[in-house]
């Protein structure tokens, strides 16, 4: 961890991460491989340390969100297969070959550029094709999938290793998700009837892994569940939170009844109380939407945030607790004694999703890695 004088830091429990990966792997079974999704700095946990820990656990396929992340992994000695889970502009096709990265193919122009680069270097390039069964984002529509895949298949030096799709509502809409699974199966059958086969078929994200066993195929893509957030009520996947966010009290003052706190004067004290100022703010990724609407833990007790979240600070109403002072640790995400605040709690209070809470935590915040 780099030296930081501002008392804000993240603890990442790599032991919990490994245990979560083991649970997911066991749940999937021996016939289903795993692409561990570590995009956007492993959902804020730290790209390289997470990859190293999961590699030690036997995960051999990583999904990232950009070429930059893939190259960073290669530059840090990660030898595992690395798969970029998005489309990339054709002019960057060479980078996949140079760094031995597996691309997603979603359009013919990129596929042609990739083929040309592979022929020039006299190498075969492994790639996955993405089709759209209802996400409405990337890939050829399922009705056009056969024609698109047949066209890509005819290009030289491309090894079509995987076929996949993506679910938008696996956590909330069983009817739509089952329709997508059915569409994906029909595309696979149509291709197999013409002897077009892939080594890997995958569509299950974390929610689908937990809720739809028939979506597992022979590869799945766990993401948020690896980090201890289960997007279902499936008790067979009882995972542990991996990340804690902590800071310290930097100032304490007593305010009188009628005094206000922070910008906009959105909080006015209805009685005299102590206010603790804590070093964290929206510039660190702690959402403005938590203003007057979140809790933190100090000395094992939960206290309410009051006033508007500032760029660098939040204020906490600690009541008559005059034993709380400068330097006391504050848990913003995590557990202390019998109190806990989870990323899911913050997401509920901020009216967002835990994915955003974790992935928006500033990369300037020092990460401390440990195994518990």
Multiple choice CATH, 14-229, 3.40.50.300, 3.20.20.10, 3.40.50.11690, 3.60.40.10: 3.20.20.10
Can you give the pLDDT at residue 232? 79
Name which of 188, 113, 117 is nearest 149 in CA terms: 188
Question: Does the structure show a pLDDT above 70 at 1?
Answer: no
Cβ atoms 279, 316 nearer than 8 A: no
Choose the catalytic residue: 39, 130, 246, 295.
39
Can you give the pLDDT at residue 3? 67
| Domain 243-341 annotated CATH 2.40.37.10 | yes
Average pLDDT, rounded, for the chain: 96
Q: pLDDT tens-digit profile of 294-332?
A: 999 999 999 999 999 999 999 999 999 989 999 999 999
39 is catalytic: yes
Choose the catalytic residue: 263, 271, 351, 364.
263
Cβ atoms 290, 305 nearer than 8 A: yes
Write the CB contacts of 11 (distance below 8 Å, at least 6 apart in sequence): 243, 244, 246, 334, 367, 368, 370
Q: pLDDT tens-digit profile of 123-146?
A: 999 999 999 999 999 999 999 999
The domain limits of the chain are: 14-229, 243-341
Identical fold, 14-229 and 243-341:
no
User: pLDDT grade, residue 223 (50/70/90)?
Assistant: very high
Name which of 278, 303, 279, 308 is nearest 292 in CA terms: 308
């Amino acid at each position: 961890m780099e030296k930081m004088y501002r008392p804000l830091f993240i603890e990442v429990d790599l032991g919990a991460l490994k245990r979560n990966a083991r649970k997911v792997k066991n749940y999937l079974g021996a016939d289903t491989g795993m692409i561990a999704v570590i995009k956007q700095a492993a959902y804020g946990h730290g790209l390289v340390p997470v990859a190293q820990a999961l590699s030690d656990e036997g995960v051999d396929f990583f999904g990232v969100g950009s070429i930059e992340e893939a190259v960073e992994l290669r530059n840090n000695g990660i030898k595992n297969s690395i798969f970029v889970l998005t489309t990339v502009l054709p002019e960057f096709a060479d980078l996949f070959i140079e760094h031995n990265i597996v691309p997603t193919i979603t359009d013919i122009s990129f596929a042609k550029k990739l083929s040309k680069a592979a022929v020039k270097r006299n190498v075969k390039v492994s790639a996955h094709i993405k089709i759209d069964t209802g996400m409405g984002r990337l890939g050829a529509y399922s009705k056009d999938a056969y024609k698109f895949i047949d066209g890509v298949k005819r290009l030289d030096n491309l090894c079509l290793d995987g076929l996949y799709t993506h679910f938008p509502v696996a956590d909330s809409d069983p009817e739509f998700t089952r329709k997508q699974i059915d569409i994906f199966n029909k595309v696979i059958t149509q291709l197999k009837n013409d002897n077009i086969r892939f080594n890997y078929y995958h569509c299950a994200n974390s929610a689908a892994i937990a809720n739809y066993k028939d979506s597992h195929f022979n590869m799945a893509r766990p993401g948020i569940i690896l980090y201890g957030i289960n997007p279902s009520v499936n008790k067979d996947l009882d995972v542990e939170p991996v990340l804690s966010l902590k800071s310290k009290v930097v100032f304490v003052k007593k305010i009188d009844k009628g005094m206000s706190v922070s910008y906009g004067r959105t909080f006015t004290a209805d009685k005299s109380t102590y206010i603790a100022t804590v070093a964290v703010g929206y510039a660190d990724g702690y959402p403005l939407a938590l203003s007057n609407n979140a809790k933190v833990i100090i000395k094992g007790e939960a206290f309410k945030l009051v006033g508007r979240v500032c760029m660098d600070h939040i204020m906490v109403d600690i009541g008559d607790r005059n034993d709380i002072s400068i330097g006391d640790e504050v848990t913003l995400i995590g557990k202390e004694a019998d109190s806990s605040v989870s990323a899911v709690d913050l997401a509920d209070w901020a009216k967002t999703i835990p994915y955003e809470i974790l992935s928006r935590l500033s990369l300037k915040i020092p990460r401390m890695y440990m195994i518990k």
